[in-house]
Amino acid sequence: MMAAETKIEKKSSSVWSLFSSVKLTIALLIVLAVASIVGTLVPQREEAVGFARNLSPAMLEFFRSLNLFDMYHAFWFRLLIGLLALNLLVCSIDRFPHTWKRFRARPSPDRKKPFEGLPESQTALVQGNLEDAAQRVSRLLGNRYKRLQTKEDKDGRYFSADKGRYAYFGVYVVHLSVLIIIIGALIGSFFGFEGYANILEGDAVSSVALRKGGAPMDLGFTVRCDDFSVEFYKNGAPKEYRSDVTFLVDGKEAEKAKLLVNHPATFRGVTFYQASYGKAPGEKVSLDITRTASKPQVTKMDVKKGEWAPLPGEEGKFQVSEVDSNLMGVMGPAAMISIQPKQGQETRFWIFQDREKLEKRFPGMMTQNPKLNASAFKPYTFSLSNLESKYYTGLQVNRDPGVSVVWLGCFLMVAGFFVAFFTSHRRIWVRLAEEKGALRLSVAGVASKNPVGLERELERLTSDLAHLSGEGEK
């Protein structure tokens, strides 16, 4: 029984010592760095598709099994971060008692060791009687330092004091801040969401698509884009774009907001960011329909997408079945005409607003391909004179309840750095002893870091103390 218990204890203590070692910290930092490098070289998420296509099946399987296409969200990457957090926690717990002891320690005033090998600049002979000098030293040290202690014996007077002992905790604050940031990120990934919505001017949505995929997320309220406007620089680059939106709850207007890039708005814990914009075709389509009988006759018509209308010559009916503000990314505004004659097959073809330009750019294409031939249904020729277009606003829609926790962590990290790197615990000892009818003043000190700074401080303190006692003489 006893043997088994000590074995367990030993085992757990070896796990403890593994996680309390800085070797592990450095190893984890470097492994995380290397893994992150891999993640920047292998295309991630949406961009991975093209890359994955060029991989052999075995490689693809390998990449997929390690989740390398979404590496930063992979289990093993999160595990590494978790191990680092655990390492941090164990290290801090392991070292804290020692730090606490140093924080609490009050060294005795009459220590001799700090005075060994004292430089010339930290000692002086001063006039006056011991009692007065001791009082002045006490007062000055009490003003500049904390936890002043005094002691006296037949050889003289002894003082000790310190300041800045909170410097020991700086490193714990920094490490705690890392844990807080990780916790903030976890809160965000468990209780938040990242989505997006493209809303046409005048339209409203009450749910958004999620970045990670899956079913759309219901917002519990409605957001309507009342107006969208964009301004351009002379060179055509967008200068500023903004959306005026209204949030509606149960059909009633609850709040209005202006969204600009870098100026999001929050409603009921959900934040809306102006992310992008684009043009989408509206409903209204203007057509010129030419009927060539004995002589060509042009009819101008405004139709709505999806609504059937009779042909001018009554041979049947037609509709605009599809519209695209830039077909295939190069063809410009386009509409698909579907014609249903009284007898026979339905005919479908695309017509283009920029027909003349396209004919120059792609000679022959319009007439050879029946799907692009505007005169495919005799005796008519259709042409697109205008396609109504509307702006849509692209909104990033997020909820992240962990953000304030992350900011708290960031603030603590910077504050902790200042304490850890730029403050130090300085302990000083002062000794006053009678020597040849005068008083020998000696000043010594120890600092947890920045020995040069301490030396400067001790020199100044020595001269201040000597000056003080010297003046007392007159």
Angstrom distance (rounded) from CA 226 to CA 244 = 5
Stretch (H or E) spanning 60: helix 57-65
Site for another protein in 421-440 (CB under 8 A): 421
Q: What is the radius of gyration, based on Cα positions, of the chain? A: 40
| 87 is a contact residue toward another protein (CB under 8 A) | no
* CB of 388 closer than 8 Å to CB of 282: yes
Chain-centre distance for alpha carbon 10 = 42
Site for another protein in 240-299 (CB under 8 A): 240-241, 260-264, 271, 273-275
Alpha helices (H) in 378-450, listed in sequence order = 403-422
Sheet containing 309-310: give its strands across.
309-310, 316-324, 334-341, 347-352
Q: What are the tokens at 450?
A: 């920045």
Least distance to another protein, CB of residue 30, Å: 6
Output DSSP code: residue 371. G
Least distance to another protein, CB of residue 262, Å: 5
Q: Which residues pair with 318 in a beta bridge?
A: 309, 339
Q: Which is nearer to another protein, 277 or 318 (CB)?
A: 277
Per-position x/- string for 388-417, each x denoting binding to another protein as judged by CB under 8 A, each - no binding: --------xxx-x--x--xx--x--xx--x
Angle at 98 between CA 96 and CA 104, to 5 degrees: 100
* CB of 158 closer than 8 Å to CB of 150: yes
Per-position x/- string for 43-72, each x denoting binding to another protein as judged by CB under 8 A, each - no binding: -x--x------------------------x
Q: Which is nearer to another protein, 221 or 421 (CB)?
A: 421
Site for another protein in 210-239 (CB under 8 A): 233, 235, 237-239
Least distance to another protein, CB of residue 435, Å: 36
| 40 is a contact residue toward another protein (CB under 8 A) | yes
Of 297, 323, 316, which is closest to residue 390 (Cα–Cα)? 323
- Number of residues interacting with another protein: please give it, by CB under 8 A: 47
Least distance to another protein, CB of residue 195, Å: 10
Q: Which is nearer to another protein, 244 or 434 (CB)?
A: 244
Decide: residue 443, CB within 10 A, 0-12 exposed, 13-18 middle, 19+ buried: buried
| 194 is a contact residue toward another protein (CB under 8 A) | yes
Output DSSP code: residue 56. -
Q: Which stretch binds another protein (CB under 8 A): 30-38, 279-287, 312-320, 322-330?
A: 30-38
| 102 is a contact residue toward another protein (CB under 8 A) | no
Least distance to another protein, CB of residue 20, Å: 11
Please report, as a single letter, which amino acid is at residue 226: D
Chain-centre distance for alpha carbon 420 = 25
Least distance to another protein, CB of residue 449, Å: 9
* CB of 440 closer than 8 Å to CB of 128: no
Q: Which is nearer to another protein, 167 or 387 (CB)?
A: 167
Which parts of this chain interact with another protein (CB under 8 A)?
Answer: 22-23, 25-26, 29-30, 32-33, 36-37, 39-41, 44, 47, 72, 185, 194, 233, 235, 237-241, 260-264, 271, 273-275, 396-398, 400, 403, 406-407, 410, 413-414, 417-418, 421
